[in-house]
Structure 1
C-alpha cells in the first residue's frame, strides 16, 4: 500500500492510521513529495507531472502489486499513477479527494491558500475550520510541518490542485476498484464535489463517509479509515498474489485473472493435474484449465510465499483462505516442457478436513463439465467405521 500525503502535509500523517490496520501481510510505503516534509530543500519545478513521476517511480521500484492511497491534492496524483500502471494497481483509494479536473476557485478564494506559506496562524485557522476532531498534538505537528515549506512551493502546490489535469474532464483511465472516502464534516471536499467531480468519472467506485471527521479523516478518525482500507484489501488482494520471494509468472498471474484462458496459456496440450483434492489425475489442457479456473474462484485469497527451481521443475509454496474462511496451505510442483509450457501440475494441500471440503465444493462447481468421480463424493468429513466384533 503506497500512501501519498496532501497539501502542507508529510508522509507521517498516515502513521496513526497505519497503526490501526488489521491486514498483517500488507507492506506500507510512505513518501514525501518534492518540497514537502523532509524534502523542503528540493529544487523545482513543483508540478503535478513531477509529483506523478515521483510516485510512479516508487511503484516501479517496488515491483509488486499495489493499492494506491492519496489524500486531497494527492488524489489526482495517485489516479494518474494508477491509470499508467493498471496491471500493477490492485486498487485506488481517494481520501477527501480534490477532483482531477481541479477546483478552479475564484481569485478571492484561492489567494489565501497561496499565502499560507510560513504563516502558522493562518495554517492553524484553515486546519481548524476544515476539521472537527484534530487532536492538539496532531494539529501542532502538521502546522510545524506545513510552515517548513517554502512560500514558493506552497504557491506552486496550490496551482497544481486548483488548475488540475485535462484528463479530469473525461472518464478515468483507471478502471479497477476505487474507494472514495470523505469526512462527513468536510466543508472543502463536500458531498456535491465528490459526486460531481469524482465519482462520475469511475465506473464502479464505492463512496464512504466517515462521521466525526473533516478534511483529514485519516488523522481525525484513523480507526474508521483503517477499517475501510482493510475491507478493500480483502476484496482486491489477488488469489495469485506473490510475496517478495516469488517472481510473477504465468501460473501465479492466472490465479489473479481467475479465467480458463489464462490457465490455458500456461499449459501444454497434454497437461496433467494431480492433486490431493482429486481421487485420480485430470488429463488434457481443456480439462485442467477448467478445474484450475474453478479452484481459483473458491479462494478468497492465495499468496505464493516461496519459490525454488531445479531444471524444468518449479516448486511454489503457498497459503490460502477459501470461501467460508477455511485456511489452507501447500506446495505446487510445476513441470515444464522445453518450450516452457507446464506439462504436469502436482498440488499438495493441507489440512485434510479443508482438502475434503474443497474437493466437494469443486465437484459441485464443475458438475456439468468434469466427471464428478474425480472428487470427494460427500460434503461432510468421513467418520471412522464401527469395528464389528466376531461372535465366537
Structure 2
C-alpha cells in the first residue's frame, strides 16, 4: 500500500512491474477505486510498469471538501506522474478518468504518449443533470441512487450476477464529499476544443449496453481526434473492464503492440 503526498492531496497508488518498463497509467471512473482494473492487469503482457491510483475523494486517497474542479483532478494526476518520474506513458482512462486523460494529454504531451479513452467523452451530460444528482445525494446519500446507477453501469446479464453486490458496495462506500466533488468537476467540463487538437495515438472503447456513456457518445469524441479508432465491446456496460476483461485486455495489448510498447 503506497501513499504519495502531493502539495494539495495525498493519493493512494499501486505500481506493479519493473521500474524501467513502459508505463501504463489507469484512471478510474466516478464511484470506483483502483480495484476497477483488477481483472485486466493480470492479462496484460509482462514487463509493463502498471500504475493505478485513487483520485481525490475516492478509495484510500484524501477526501477534501467538495466541490472539485477538473483542473484540480488533472493537476493531481500531473503532480503524481511527475513525482513518480513518469513520462511518455500510455494512459487508460475510463469515464471521468478519460476526461482527466484528455485534458492532461493536451496540457502535458510529454507525460502522455498515447491514450485509451474508455466509456468517456469530451462532455458527459449537462450541468442541470449533475446538479440534480448532487441534490439527490445531499438529500439521501449515494445509497438513494445506487440501483439506477448500477443499471447504467452494467448489462442485464451482470445485474443478475452475484458479483453485482461488490460493485454496489464500492459505489455506496465512496465518500459522499468525494463523489459530489467529482460530479461538480464533470458538470463544469467541456473538453471539445482541447480534445479536437490532440495528436497522440488514441483508441476508444465503448460498451454496447452502456447507459452512462452510450457508444455514440464515445464515438463522437473519438471522431474528434485525427487517426483515432473506436471499438465497441458487445454485451458490456459502462465498465467493460469488469464485464469483459479478456476482450478488454486483448484490445489494450493489441494497441500497445501496435505502438511498439510491448
Work out which of the residue numbers 43, 46, 67 in structure 1 matches 2:90: 67
3-state SS in 2 of match to 1:201:
coil
Q: Which residue of 2 aligns with 1:343?
A: none
Match of 2:51 among 24, 29, 33: 29
SS at match of 2:43: coil
Name the CA distance, whole Å, in 2 between partners of 1:85 and 1:105: 27
Aligned position for 1:100: 122
**CA deviations over 1:215-266 (Å, ceiling 9, x no partner):** 110111111110000011102235xxxxxxxxxxxxxxxxxxxxxxxxxxxx
Q: Which runs of 5+ in 1 are unaligned?
A: 239-300, 302-392
| Counterpart residue number, 1:80 | 103
1:198-213 to 2 correspondences below 5 Å:
198-213=221-236
CA distance in 2, matches of 1:79, 1:214: 21
Partner of residue 111, structure 1: 132
What RMSD, in angstroms, separates the aligned Cα atoms of the two structures?
2.4
Q: Note the C-alpha offset of 1:111.
A: 1.4
2:60 is aligned, of 38, 42, 57, to 38
Q: What is the TM-score with the length of structure 1 in the denominator?
A: 0.55
Deviations 1:304-340 (A, max 9, x none): xxxxxxxxxxxxxxxxxxxxxxxxxxxxxxxxxxxxx
When residues 141 and 25 of structure 1 are mapped into structure 2, their CA distance, relative to the original with a 3 A threshold, is same
Larger radius of gyration: 1
- Does structure 1 retain, via aligned residues, the 8 Å contact 2:25–2:91? yes
CA offsets per residue over residues 363-391 of structure 1, 9 Å max, x none?
xxxxxxxxxxxxxxxxxxxxxxxxxxxxx
What is the CA–CA distance in structure 1 between the aligned matches of 2:204 and 2:153, rounded to whole Å? Answer: 18
Extract unaligned runs of 5+ from structure 2. Answer: 1-23
Distance 1:137 1:110, change over 3 A: farther
Write the deviation string for residues 106-160 of structure 1: whole angstroms up to 9, x where unpaired: 44x7514653473335213321343115374543223222223333332221122
> 1: CA distance between counterparts of 2:206 and 2:227?
17
In 2 relative to 1, CA 193–96 (structure 1 residues): closer, same or farther, beyond 3 Å? same
- Residue 161 of structure 1 is aligned with which of 186, 204, 222? 186
Is 1:178 the equivalent of 2:202? yes
The answer to whether the Cα contact below 8 Å between 1:184 and 1:214 also exists between their aligned partners in 2 is yes
Kindly tell me: are residues 125 and 187 of structure 1, through their superposed partners in 2, closer, same or farther at Cα, counting changes over 3 Å?
A: closer
Quote the offset at 1:5 in angstroms.
0.4
Does residue 1:227 correspond to 2:250, yes or no? yes
Between 1 and 2, higher relative CO (CA 8 Å, sep ≥ 6) is seen in: 2
Aligned-pair CA distance for 1:28? 0.8
Is the 8 Å Cα contact of residues 210 and 217 (structure 1) preserved in structure 2? yes
Q: What are the equivalent positions in structure 2 for 1:1-392 lying under 5 Å apart?
A: 1-21=24-44, 23-39=45-61, 41-43=63-65, 46-60=68-82, 61-97=84-120, 99-104=121-126, 106-107=128-129, 111-112=132-133, 115-116=136-137, 118-120=141-143, 122-132=145-155, 133-134=157-158, 136=161, 138-165=163-190, 167-169=191-193, 171-196=195-220, 198-237=221-260
